[in-house]
Amino acid sequence: MLILCMLLSHWIIAQNTFRAKVVNDQTKAILKSATANIPDLKISAVADTSGLIIIPNIPNGKFKIEITYVGFDKSEKVYNFPQTNPDQIIEVNLGPSTGELAEVTVQTTRTNQNLRDIPTRIEALPLEELDEKSTMRPGDIKMLLGETTGIHVQQTSAVSGTASFRIQGLDSRYTQLLQDGMPLYAGFSGNLSLLQISPLDLRQVEFIKGSASTLYGGGAIAGLVNLISKVPEKEPELTLLLNGTSAKGADASIYYSQKWQHIGTTIFGAYNYNGAFDPSNTGFSAIPQTKRFSVNPKVFLYMDEHNSGWFGVNTTYENRFGGDMQVIDGKADNNHQYFESNKTFRFSTQLSFTHKIDEESRLNFKNTVGYFDRDLGEHAFDFKGKQLSSFSEVNYVRNGEKAAWVAGANLVTDHFTADPPQNSLNYNLTTVGAFIQNTYKAANWFSLETGLRLDDNTPSPGKPSNGLFLLPRMNVLFKLTDHLSSRVGGGLGYKMPTLFNDESEQDGYQQIQPLNIGNTQAEQSYGLNGDLNYRSALGDEAVININQLFFSTRVDRPLILQNNTFINAPGHLLSRGAETNIKLVMDELVFYLGYTYTDTKQHFNGLAATQPLTPKNQFSFDSTYEIEGSFRFGAESFYTGPQLLSDGTTGKGYVTFGLLIQKMWKHLDIYVNAENLTDQRQTKWGSIYTGSITNPNFKDIYAPLDGVVVNAGIRIKLLN
């Protein structure tokens, strides 16, 4: 009994306390609410607001302590008690994880901050999700954008497959498509751009929904999509992707990257082919005959710790031929004559240079020069044009402890020349802009972002503004609790008059009358959005993220096509709605549910009418089971609600369903993907054209035309 009491006394005296401070190993930011767990003793503790974890009453011995935080890799280490220094506070550094829960750094705001700390609402698709999308549609990003909540992809040609994308119910001319922060895909090339960009060359895609005009100028009324290219890493990479489809398609892509001490390179090349495909036997191509070559090399220079930059070239040649299947097969006759031909050549250069002044500030310069040559041919009509555009920007960025500043100026030129007899459609525009933006972290729970931009456009439009636009913008971030945050923001925007939009593409630029910028007013916008975001861990291996967004954008004097002439409408557009996104991650399982409600109305001459081709309700569901580096299975379903068409009729609502199976090894992936397994086709519900097969007049395309499409392929990783 005496011995037992002595042992018990020794055990009580030999209690130890574990003290640790948990921080982000990259930024050294405190990770409050991190969790520590000692499995053998079944005790745990949570870090306080200073990141400090205290676990008392630990007996002598060796115990494994696990420290976790959502979005970061777990720390597992064995500690020996009693410790050499019992009062020591151990610093535990957690690195951001690379999977579904990873922290995301964004570039679109130019400050390279963490996604959670930016007052501007930004969504990002990281590399892991792009990897999945590249097996679904390796030849373009049409599917990638079309499956994003709040973005609607609209097909603009029934036989050529050209398409644009709309954010929050507004036409494509109110959005910007950027690559590495530079506009490469606007104007005459806009409706072909989604079809000429491969996801294999991308490492992240960032979305801003709502006004982004302060940093990016005219055209970012509804928002923007910024495609972030891959950069060379320490380990070389050589990836070859071969893909084939049941819709007569084939893709071959190659990507190579390597980084040495002072130089690096990335090289992307692709060949994409599709035979003309008519699954409904309408006599017209649902998918046109397409042949496309792309080569995009880049050179990166790492001169010293203060200076770095890169230079790239983007080249694409495409021959897209759609229309009457007999014409495509070379069997035209008196009845079978209709076709649409798009022969395009794109060549652009990109230059980026960064000078790091000190740890907090840097100077950046960007430039792109783009040349786009397009020959748009139809039966008895041919429209040829060349677009030469440029973008140059210099900006200064300072990331302080409390405040971040971005200030800069840019020059944008756009010159379009049409071949005779359409040379009256020639177009020139030069924009000089200056901007400044400040992000101030007033407290851990409150950040304020304010910005101001001044643009001067030549030639100037008719009143108001006469080419000079002042664009303020403000966003606030409230971190209400450790799990709940909210963003509210708004700003002004504008869009200069231009012939290049969805209506022109649908009409093939036939009969379009010249646009007189001096007699046409610029479109001006007022946007407001707000969201609530809830993120919480569910145990050690699960996390749920719920985001609810509300938005409203008004566009005054929108351009409309009337009697083949673009004029300012007598009134305004008003787009309002909501987005709901729910993501649940449970170890290897991921579930995603998205819903978009969009109510876009035209208020012209005191009357309100629904905007055509804008579905009010869209649902998406996606589930993925993945064993990292070994196996992936995905299932997804999408519902698109009924929508008003431009002829006054209503298009049907429809549901599509898809499956993906992928097996991965160290140097080889094999995958099979099936889209639209419900075989939804607009041609099932009626004819897609009026008139004769010789001179068809196509209706609005609001649903798929290609039906069930299965693709399969292999991805070979020779390096990495």
At 105-158, the pLDDT tens digits run 778 877 777 778 889 999 998 888 888 888 888 888 888 888 899 999 999 899
Residues 6+ apart with CB under 8 A from 167: 150, 151, 174, 175, 207, 209, 222, 223
Q: Which of 71, 94, 117 is the last residue of a domain?
A: 94
With a CB cutoff of 8 Å and minimum separation 6, the contacts of 331 are none
Reply yes or no on whether the pLDDT at 5 is more than 80: no
pLDDT value at residue 7: 44
Query: Of 183-197, 286-300, 373-387, which range is least confident?
Result: 183-197
Residue 15's CATH number: 2.60.40.10
> In this predicted structure, what is the pLDDT of residue 97?
65
Decide which of 185 and 612 is more confident.
612
Of residues 557 and 57, more confidently modeled? 557
Question: Is pLDDT above 50 for 569?
Answer: yes
206 has a pLDDT exceeding 70: yes
Per residue in 657-677, pLDDT (tens digit) is: 999 999 999 999 999 999 999
pLDDT surpasses 50 at 4:
no
Q: Which pLDDT score, from 0 to 100, does residue 435 have?
A: 96
- Judge whether 572 lies within some domain: yes
Q: Give the residue, 573 or 220, on which the prediction is more confident.
A: 573
Query: What's the rounded Cα separation, in Å, for the pair 380 and 699?
Result: 20
Q: Find the domain containing 610 and state its range.
A: 228-717
Q: Which two tokens stand for residue 401?
A: 């402890």
Q: What are phi and psi of 274, to 5 degrees?
A: -145, 130
Identify the pLDDT of residue 11. 43
Q: Is residue 122 part of a domain?
A: no
Beta bridge partners of 496: none
Query: Residue 484: its pLDDT value, please?
Result: 95
For residue 570, is it within any domain?
A: yes
Sequence-distant (≥ 6) Cβ neighbours of residue 2 within 8 angstroms: none
- Give the model confidence (pLDDT) of 420-453 as tens digits: 988 888 999 999 999 999 999 999 899 999 999 9
pLDDT of residue 159: 93
Measured between alpha carbons, how far is 453 from 539 in angstroms, rounded to an integer? 46
Is the confidence at residue 595, as pLDDT, over 90?
yes
Residue 120 lies in a domain: no
Lowest mean pLDDT among 98-107, 118-127, 309-318, 686-695: 98-107
In a domain, 360, yes or no: yes
Beta pairing, strands 202-209 & 122-125: antiparallel
pLDDT (tens digit per residue) in 629-657: 899 999 999 999 999 999 999 999 999 99
Mapping DSSP to helix (H, G, I), strand (E, B) and coil, where does residue 89 land?
coil
- Reply yes or no: is the peptide bond before residue 420 cis, omega within 30 of 0: no
d(CA 307, CA 300): 11
| Coil/strand/helix, residue 508 | coil
The residues, any chain, with a CB within 8 Å of residue 297's CB and separated by 6 or more, are 265, 266, 267, 268, 312, 313
Is there a domain that residue 147 lies in? Answer: no
Do 85 and 233 have their domain in common? no
pTM: 0.87
| Residue 15 confidence (pLDDT) | 80
Note the pLDDT of residue 71.
66
Q: Is the dihedral of CA 506, 218, 496, 610 positive or negative?
A: positive
Instruction: Tell me if 215 is assigned to some domain.
Output: no
Q: What pLDDT does 9 receive?
A: 45
The domain boundary residue, chosen from 65, 94, 123: 94
Tell me, yes or no, whether 205 lies in a domain. Answer: no
Other beta carbons less than 10 A from residue 241's beta carbon: 23
Q: Do the Cβ atoms of 487 and 445 come closer than 8 Å?
A: no
> Looking at this protein, which amino acid is placed at residue 426?
N
pLDDT for 361 = 93
Q: What is the pLDDT of residue 12?
A: 46
* 241-272 per-position pLDDT tens digit: 999 999 999 999 999 999 999 999 999 999 99
Give the C-alpha separation, 228 to 204, whole Å.
5
Give the sign of the dihedral formed by CA 479, CA 481, CA 484, CA 486.
negative
Q: What is the mean pLDDT of residues 45-61?
A: 87
Q: Report whether 582 contacts 593 (CB < 8 A).
A: yes
CATH of the domain at 262: 2.40.170.20
DSSP characters over 143-164: HHHHTSTTEEEEE--TTT--EE
Reported as a pLDDT band with limits 50, 70 and 90, residue 194 is: confident
Q: Provide the domain count of the chain.
A: 2
Q: Which residues pair with 336 in a beta bridge?
A: none
Instruction: Report pLDDT for 114.
Output: 77
- Mean pLDDT estimate for the chain: 90
52, 74, 94 - which closes a domain? 94
Report yes or no: 194 and 151 within 8 Å, Cβ to Cβ. Answer: no
pLDDT score of 96 more than 70: no
- As to burial, measured by CB atoms within 10 angstroms (0-12 exposed, 13-18 middle, 19+ buried), residue 712 is middle
Residue type at 420? P
The alpha carbon of residue 657 and the mean position of all alpha carbons in its chain are separated, in whole angstroms, by 22
